[in-house]
Structure 1
Amino acid sequence: MDPRLDHLVDWASSTIRREANLDVNTSLEMVSGDASFRRYFRLRGLGKSWILVDAPPDKEDNPRFIRIAEQWRHQQVAVPQVLAADIDQGFMLLEDFGDHLLWAALHDPAATDKQILALYRQAIEQLVQLQGVSCRHLPVYDEACLQREMELFRDWLCGQQLQLALTAAEHRMLDRVFDLLTRQALAQPVVTVHRDYHSRNLMLKPDGGLGIIDFQDALAGPSTYDLVSLVRDCYVRWPQALVDELVAYYWELARPYGYYLGDWEQCVRDVDWMGLQRHLKAAGIFARLNLRDHKPTYLADIPNTCQYLVDIARRYDELSDFSLWLNQRLMPALVQLSR
């Protein structure tokens, strides 16, 4: 029994009947529940389909979702059209982009290197389009936000999931690293940031284009944030040569518009250090999803996410103590977690 779902389906069916003059004899399927309180369902009927969103209004900012969707669509960013909404109940009816995630296309055994590169180039082109949307009305990705995100790593992963008793010296080391990463991020140009621009939030639409979902947490922030989310995806890992090629493609596209201004060496450093910030955040969130939200499947993504920390930290002398700590303390504890 799910009275809320029944109510959502009744509302959506009557909305479709009223707005599209379609008396839909519907079938319903679960699309996903994501890392928030939202649930998504696909409603089918008469050869058409729609996405139903259950987003409890006491948990989700649905007016913000709708505002962003309308603004981005107006600027030719490929996000689903909001066809109807009941703000009080937390119900939305969205355009259906289909069910083919970029993640699935990247993992298709038949996918060639050329096809994978083309998909990523398309995603970067869409990202540059997104960065051209005004971010004046978005909250700012400021120092407090960046620091708060990295604290998730210290609290939820180190403290609660791994139960590492950090020494005073280790706390000071993490404080210093967090400050370095924050300053590096805040020195970048400020653009519209999706915040979760990766393979599970990009859809291959029936027309061959890429559609963007799960954008409701957008902020005005560092220009390389979404880029590193894409090319150093927590759910996918690629050879460094491909990552470098994709970063260079973004660099070439973004510089003429002023979305990124630094030279190539600066771009590499910005991507690396922005990635450290993001992967610290993501590892903490995955642990929180397991412990607080009872979603243990995300534990499997922590080792790959933390391996990015190891790979990048060892490249920079300023992070040598952090690199040592990752190898001697964090990664062995993760090995124990996976047993």
Structure 2
Amino acid sequence: MDAQISVFLQDDAATRQLGEDLALALGVGDCLALSGDLGAGKSALARAFLRAMADDEGLEVPSPTFTLVQSYPLRIPVSHFDLYRLGDPSELVELGFDEALENGICLVEWPEMADAELPVGRITLRLETEGVGRRAIMTAPAMQADRIRRVLAIREFLDRNGYRGAERRFLTGDASMRAYEAIYPADGGSRVILMDWPRRPEGPAVLDGKPYPKVAHLAEDAYPFVAIAILLRENGFLAPDIFSVDYEQGILLIEDLGADGVLDADGEPMPERYRAAVACLAKLHGMNIPQDIPVTPSHVHHIPDFDRTAMRMEARLLLDWYLPWKRGEPASDAERDDYLSIWDWLIDQLNQAEKSLLLRDLHSPNIIWRGAEAGIRRVGLIDFQDAMIGPTAYDLASLVQDARVTVEPPLFRQLMDDYLALRRDQPGFDEQMFLKSWAIMSAQRNCKLAGLWVRLKQRDGKAGYLKHMPRTLAYLETAFEHEALAPLREWCARAGIGAIES
């Protein structure tokens, strides 16, 4: 059943603001049908929507009154229809409406001219004069209504926390549950970042009655992110300052550390920056990190352990997703038993490994370069909400075997040498045990990623991640060079898993 949402707009600025907010709520396949009397603000709202989607205040938005449709190849393609001069509703097909809706968003003014031809699941927005302002009355299917309510809730959060009238722009979304916006204060102050992290309903049970996030100890609310940010900043590392948080709704305003990363213009690793990140890790791994972090007067975050259950569950992604995709059939019962037994044995080998804070995803997308800073503060750290306590070698494997970009052998060897040289100067460092745990953690991470790339394609419709598969399998081959990985190397050879993918 459709839901109704009503918003009072006190002036033209509020109407434009609603258009900007809707640009963050709508996605491919959405049709927004705009209606209202002449002068009600339909065109102003449509222009604001398109300029926000383009992130270009100067975008020319000509009226499509005579052309009937104007198309915009934006972040999400948008087709702006004005049906006032439509001769017959059937002409909508000739205008390419169905194709436009399949590939993007359709923004329709005068929808009543082709009411029967528009999708049943459209979002309707009627603007009505009310006093000195106007009211926007929106009717939408449940899924779209939830998205609209979310962007309006974020707007209310901004208003409450000193950012009334701020300009919002889409920044990024990823393979995770989080999305990010760039927030530009109305007074011209510095840009800040908004993290949009709504709570999700629990998924199906995968082990002992628990869904995957609980088994793998993935963060499900904002407390872990805030806790680790506090911990890092208190110990001299560069993590974003936290300005405002709504823990219940999962909305955070955080410091913008910038957009300069560790890759060059061609997307290749910049050795100086990777080496600085390795030095940052060596510093972190030499510290004693508390496991309980006070976040608010009533909440203490306990950093979870990267335990056997979590390691095994992640490594199983290769078995559950990659192998059936690779071979066209699932693993046999005997193969499954052998694979999981090997991982039990490998995890046992980690009992004596050095353990400390794991940031968990320390690779190029999550490192911000701050060249004007000094020492470890040149390395800005983000996306650490899933941090755990476990073998320190995991984060080094994550960095020197970057999941998103190839770290060539010469740079890989330089980074490993840098790290080991720095750690040798720290008391109690067991280099041989560290290298053994590095190989095991590298294998564990890359087995997880091989399965994850397939899961993202098959379950979530995100086929683009498969481009990382050859690199992931090549990294796995590097891990296999350590003698401790011989049983897993032999299992993969029998299963037909190799480093080259078509």
TM range (shorter): 0.7 to 0.9
Q: CA deviation at 1:169?
A: 4.2
- The code of the aligned residue for 1:278 comes to R
- Does residue 477 of structure 2 align to residue 322 of structure 1? no
Pairing 1:276–2:443 present = yes
Q: Distance in 2 between matches of 1:133 and 1:200?
A: 27
Other-structure match for 1:74: 234
* Higher mean displacement: 238-247 or 315-324: 315-324
AA partner of residue 95 (structure 1): E
Q: Deviations over 1:127-161 (max 9, x none)?
A: 23333251423111111211111111111222367
Describe how 1:79-118 pairs up with structure 2 within 5 A: 79-102=239-262, 104-105=263-264, 107=266, 116-118=270-272
List per-residue Cα deviations over 1:292-315 (Å, max 9, x = no partner): 233222121122111222343255
Matched AA of 2:397: V
Q: Distance in 2 between matches of 1:324 and 1:205?
A: 44
Pairs within 5 Å for 1:129-278: 129-131=283-285, 132=287, 134-137=289-292, 138-159=303-324, 163-205=328-370, 207=372, 209-258=378-427, 261-263=429-431, 265-278=432-445
Counterpart amino acid of 1:43?
A: I
Greater CA radius of gyration, 1 or 2?
2
Give the strand-richer structure, 1 or 2: 2
Q: Who is 1:120 aligned against? A: 274
Amino acid at match of 1:86: D
2-side partners of 1:140 and 1:234: how far apart?
Answer: 23
Contact 1:68 1:216 in 2 (8 A): yes
Once residues 68 and 145 of structure 1 are traced to their aligned partners in structure 2, the CA distance between those partners, rounded to angstroms, is: 20
For residues 493 and 172 of structure 2, the distance between their equivalents in structure 1, rounded to whole angstroms, comes to: 34
User: What's the offset of the Cα at 1:324?
Assistant: 6.7
Provide the C-alpha distance between the structure 1 equivalents of 2:266 and 2:391, rounded to a whole number of angstroms. 29
**Cα pair 2:277 2:379 within 8 Å, conserved:** yes
Q: CA offset at residue 13 of structure 1? A: 4.5
Q: 1:311 to 1:127 in 2, by over 3 A?
A: closer
Measured after TM superposition, the shift of residue 119 of structure 1 is: 0.9
26-35 or 87-96: which moved more?
26-35
Secondary structure at the aligned position of 1:48 is classed as coil
Question: Residues 241 and 267 of structure 1: is their aligned pair in 2 closer, same or farther, counting only changes over 3 Å?
Answer: farther
User: Which AA in structure 2 matches 1:313?
Assistant: F
Tell me how large the CA RMSD over aligned residues is.
2.7
- Given residue 193 of structure 2, which amino acid in structure 1 is its aligned partner? I
| Helix, strand or coil at the partner of 1:105 | coil
Distance 2:485 2:168 in 1: 54
Change (3 A) 1:328 1:136: closer
| 1:105-127 alpha-carbon deviations (Å, 9 max, x no partner) | 38457x8xxxx332122101222
* Alpha-carbon distance in structure 2 between the residues aligned to 1:108 and 1:318: 31
Alignment: residue pair count: 321
**Distance change (3 Å), C-alpha of 1:305 and 1:327:** farther
Instruction: Note closer, same or farther for the CA distance 1:189–1:318 as it changes in structure 2 (3 Å cut).
Output: closer
Q: Which is richer in helix? A: 1
1:309 corresponds to which residue? 476
Equivalent in the alignment of 2:181: 41
1:176-197 Cα offsets, whole Å, 9 max, x none, are 4312431233331111010111
Residue 207 of structure 1 deviates from its aligned partner by: 3.1
CA contact (8 A) 2:170 2:180 kept: yes
Does the Cα contact within 8 Å between 1:193 and 1:226 map onto a contact in 2? yes
For residues 87 and 49 of structure 1, the distance between their equivalents in structure 2, rounded to whole angstroms, comes to 22
* Residues 248 and 267 (structure 1), Cα distance of their counterparts in 2 relative to 1, 3 Å cut: farther
Q: Distance between the aligned counterparts of 1:135 and 1:311, measured in 2?
A: 33
Q: What do residues 225-249 of structure 1 show as CA deviations (whole Å, max 9, x unaligned)?
A: 1001000111222332322221121
> For 1:309 and 1:205, how far apart are their aligned partners in 2?
31
Q: How does 1:287-306 map to 2 (within 5 A)?
A: 287-306=454-473
Shift of 1:266: 4.2
Higher RCO (C-alpha 8 Å, min separation 6): 1
2:191 is paired with a residue of what secondary structure? strand
Greater CA drift, 140-149 or 28-37: 28-37
The question of whether the paired residues in 1 share the 8 Å contact of 2:314 and 2:448 is answered with: yes
State how far apart, in whole Å, the 1-side matches of 2:200 and 2:407 are. 39
Provide the TM-score with structure 1 as the length reference: 0.84
Tell me the residue number matched to 1:54: 196
Q: Distance in 2 between matches of 1:301 and 1:262?
A: 33
Matches of 1:253 and 1:270 in 2, distance apart? 18
Gaps (5+ residues) in structure 2? 1-21, 26-147, 202-219, 293-302
Shift of 1:5: 2.1
Q: Find the aligned partners of 1:177 and 1:62 in 2 and give their Cα distance.
A: 35
Q: Distance in 2 between matches of 1:282 and 1:126?
A: 24
User: Does the CA-based 8 Å contact 1:251-1:267 persist in structure 2?
Assistant: no
TM-score (norm 2): 0.58
User: Which sits farther off after the overlay, 238-247 or 139-148?
Assistant: 238-247
Quote the sequence identity (%). 27
Q: Aligned-pair distance for 1:323?
A: 4.3
Q: Give the secondary structure class of the aligned counterpart of 1:200.
A: helix
